[in-house]
Amino acid sequence: MKHLTQAIQSLVENVGGTWGVVIKDLMTNEKWFLNEHNTFYSASIVKLPIMATVFKHVEEGRLSLTDEITLQKTDIVGGAGVLQHMSLGRKYSVEDIVTLMIIQSDNTATNILIDLVGKTPIQEVLKELQMNDSTFSHKLMKDPSDREGSNLTSASDTANLLELLFNGVLVSQQASHLMIQILKKQQIRNCLPHYLPYQENEATDDKPIWKLAHKTGWVPNYRHDAGIFYVNNYPLLASVFSKDVNDIISEKTIAKIGQLIYKYLSQYSFD
């Protein structure tokens, strides 16, 4: 993995700014990191612990994924997502809202779920997961004057959450499996998967089957993507955070990191 990590380090050093990166081979446990405990504004990466909190409530019997929530005018916020454009009064299951929060980074869905489970339980999940670099204090796309603090995280904290998912111990084995399946449906693909071959489901000699269970995060001056690559079923975790980099350059750089990982994993297989 040395050549891969050297290439990634050279790539991020050449574009400047501040980067936090964790790369981990989930079969050998070989790990490389750069500024792994630097804190970044989490942007939509905060949706990962929110999802974990929802599934924890489901596991404890406080919620069901089939429970229905009615979309109300007071729920609507801007930014990413489609719920803001849907008809008011429609009902959506908790599972639907979680899925929209992840695969379209829907901010309205996110705030609905924050109201559903509460801020304190999300903060408690951060503590339970030992995400010591991370904080959660506010809903998304709201007036900054209403915020009590900032939503922060690190490449290390996010990598640890993803590894718990991979190992089937985030909430429970069933919950971990369901969360990974949702993450694999991600539709925002401008970063880590951007340069990967379009066809995922048919292997060829030079284009193996790949999947990526991941979540992006972006606000001006910050761009992140973190997930688990499965190339020929070989798993590798990548947690990539950036700040103080031109937004177009950071997007392309993270995409190139994804390309480097794909090429590295293409030489392996795990059945």
DSSP code string of 230-244: EETTEEEEEEEEEES
Distance of CA 204 to the CA centre of its chain: 29
Residue 141's closest CA among 111, 96, 112, 117? Answer: 111
| Residue 82 forms part of a structural domain | yes
Gap between the Cα atoms of 52 and 69, Å rounded: 19
Domain with 108 in it: 2-265
Above 70 in pLDDT, residue 6?
A: yes
Count of structural domains within the chain: 1
How do residues 232-247 score in pLDDT, each as one tens digit?
889 999 999 999 999 9
How do residues 47-64 score in pLDDT, each as one tens digit?
999 999 999 999 999 999
| Residue 271 forms part of a structural domain | no
Pairing of strands 18-25, 40-41: unpaired
Above 90 in pLDDT, residue 143?
A: no
| Residue 270 forms part of a structural domain | no
Distance of CA 181 to the CA centre of its chain: 13
Q: Position of tokens 């030992």?
A: 130
Distance of CA 135 to the CA centre of its chain: 16
pLDDT score at 263: 93
| Residue 115 forms part of a structural domain | yes
How do residues 27-86 score in pLDDT, each as one tens digit?
999 999 999 999 999 999 999 999 999 999 999 999 999 999 999 999 999 989 899 999
CA-based radius of gyration for the chain: 18
Gap between the Cα atoms of 225 and 55, Å rounded: 22
pLDDT score at 208: 72
CB distance 115 to 133 below 8 Å: no
| Residue 231 forms part of a structural domain | yes
CB distance 24 to 226 below 8 Å: no
Tokens linked to 111: 């705030």
Distance, first Cα to last Cα, the chain: 20
pLDDT score at 34: 98
Q: In the chain, what are the helix, strand and coil shares in percent, each to the nearest 5?
A: 40, 20, 40
| Residue 59 forms part of a structural domain | yes
The dihedral over CA atoms of 171, 54, 100, 151, expressed in degrees to the nearest 10, equals: -100
What's 99's domain CATH number?
3.40.710.10
Above 80 in pLDDT, residue 206?
A: no
pTM above 0.85, yes or no: yes
Tokens linked to 203: 């292997």
- Residue 107's CB is within 10 A of a number of other CB atoms, namely 24
| Residue 22 forms part of a structural domain | yes
